[in-house]
Amino acid sequence: MQVNPSTWPLLEELLMARGPGGQEHEVRQICLRELEPHCDETWIDPAGNVIGLIKGTAKADETRTPIRIMAHLDEIAMLVKRIEPDGTLRVVALGGANPINFGVCPVDILGDQDFIPGVLSFGSMHSTGETHQGADVLSGNVHWGDVHVITRCSPEQLREHGVRPGTRVVLSQHWRRPFRVGDAIAAHFLDDRAPMAATLQAAALLAGRREALVGEVYFVFTTQEEESNAGALYAASHLPGEVTVAVEVGPVVQEYGTRLSIDPIISTGDQNGCYSREIADRLYRAGERCGLSPQFALLVDFASDASAVMGGGISALGGCIAIPTENTHGYELILEGSIEACAATLLEFLVSH
């Protein structure tokens, strides 16, 4: 699969943008900018989802029901639980994150108007079992109660910046740039920035193939997928259509039989239930027509916007296409060309009758 030269700069820009759940505005603006040239309509709905509509011009005996393609804007992050008297922050997970996902690292504390630098800390390694936190760190059994964020600010200074319980804390931009590893790309937050890039590419490609498109396609970039699927649930209940397809990262794990390649993973089900066989088969055949060898997988410990809206009874049919990814929710790695392969498969799925 030929690599699109615009993929790297767009992906890097998306990765550098901070997007914790409920505060995804940096990512949202990039997404809206990229959609606008290719869509008939673009808007931000009341839930904060970015939506782009492409209308088909192909004639058919009957109009196909609109299709919703969903990729999510948000990333795993942290929330301030409380501020200690010395200005240290105690934090909890926002989304499916454990301390090991971040490690000891620089963070950005997102205040009301700006950000404050900090360091996510597990404390000193030179301790014994007498120190509870030290025992957990030394055993590798680290929990959120064992970590804190060093700010070097007083509680008064933090309040002036609008830092309070519920403030988002994210991996610092200092550590966000993608890293090349041979024929692969590594970075934090390829979930869901790589699928976002693929979805944006698919929208651009579809705009040039309107003559083959029957009906309408809504490209939906959702908020708060990592913790509640709130954006997808809102969008699915307010947009027309009976088919929802999530664009995700897919774990490369032996138990699922998945492999690191450019060939997209077609999920047949996850912890929310089974996807529609019709949609999974259509996605698989679309990938084959692109010269790929898609991978069917039952992702038991996984969930997506599509399975959430199906489980909520808001979408009659659903599916999930995923970019094969090592180290999901950690320092993730995908192969070059996998974004383009996912975009090509989506395009073929949308224009096939």
> Is residue 28, in this structure, part of any structural domain at all?
yes
Q: Is the pLDDT assigned to residue 136 strictly greater than 70?
A: no
Residues 211 and 286 in one domain: yes
Domain end, chosen from 175, 205, 239, is at 175
Mean pLDDT of 47-67: 85
Which of 242, 249, 282 minimizes the C-alpha distance to 265? 249
Domain annotation covers residue 180: no
Taking residues 96-117, report their average pLDDT.
93
| Structure confidence at residue 61 as a pLDDT band (50, 70, 90) | low
DSSP alpha helix (H) spans, the chain? 7-16, 25-35, 99-102, 132-139, 155-160, 190-207, 230-238, 277-289, 305-311, 338-351
Report residue 137's pLDDT band, with 50, 70 and 90 as the boundaries: low
Q: Are residues 145 and 121 in the same domain?
A: yes
Domain with 122, as residue range(s), is 77-175
The model's pLDDT over 234-243, given as tens digits with 9 standing for 90+, comes to 999 999 999 9
User: What does the pLDDT read at residue 142?
Assistant: 85
Q: In this structure, are 87 and 69 located in the same domain?
A: no
pLDDT of residue 60: 65
Instruction: Say whether both 248 and 160 belong to one domain.
Output: no
- Least confident segment among 59-73, 268-282, 307-321: 59-73
Question: pLDDT, tens digit, for every residue of 15-53?
Answer: 999 999 999 999 999 999 999 999 999 999 999 999 999
Residue 97 and residue 126 share a domain: yes
- Residue 145 tokens read as 């109660």
- The CATH number that applies at residue 81 is 2.40.30.40
Spatial CB neighbours of 201, under 8 Å, sequence gap ≥ 6: 4, 7, 339, 340, 343
Which CATH number do you get for residue 28?
3.40.630.10
Whether residue 13 sits in one domain with residue 40: yes
- Confidence (pTM): 0.95
What proportion of the chain, given as a percentage, has pLDDT over 90? Answer: 86
CA–CA separation, 70 vs 59, rounded Å? Answer: 25
pLDDT tens digit sequence for 312-323: 999 999 999 999
- Residue 135, pLDDT score: 62
For residue 302, which of 267, 346, 341, 259 has the smallest C-alpha distance? 267
In a domain, 184, yes or no: no
Indicate whether 112 and 252 sit together in one domain.
no
pLDDT greater than 70 at residue 131: no
Output b/e per residue, 295-317; b: 16+ Cβ within 10 A: bebebeebbbbbbbbbbeebbeb
How much is the pLDDT for 177? 96
151 assigned to some structural domain: yes
**For residue 29, what are its two tokens?**
């603006």
Give the helix/strand (H/E) hosting 264: none
Check: CB of residue 229 under 8 Å from CB of residue 72. no
Q: What percent of the chain has pLDDT over 70?
A: 95
pLDDT at 139 over 70: no
Q: Per-residue pLDDT averaged across 200-210, rounded?
A: 96
Per-residue confidence (pLDDT) for residue 124, from 0 to 100? 78
pLDDT grade for 3, boundaries at 50, 70 and 90: confident
Query: Worst-scoring range by mean pLDDT, 15-29, 60-74, 155-169?
Result: 60-74
Q: Indicate the number of domains in the chain.
A: 2
Q: Which of 148, 175, 202 is the last residue of a domain?
A: 175
Q: 162 and 51 share a domain?
A: no
> Is the predicted pLDDT of residue 133 greater than 80, yes or no?
no
- Domain termination site, one of 113, 142, 175: 175
Question: Do residues 241 and 224 share a domain?
Answer: yes
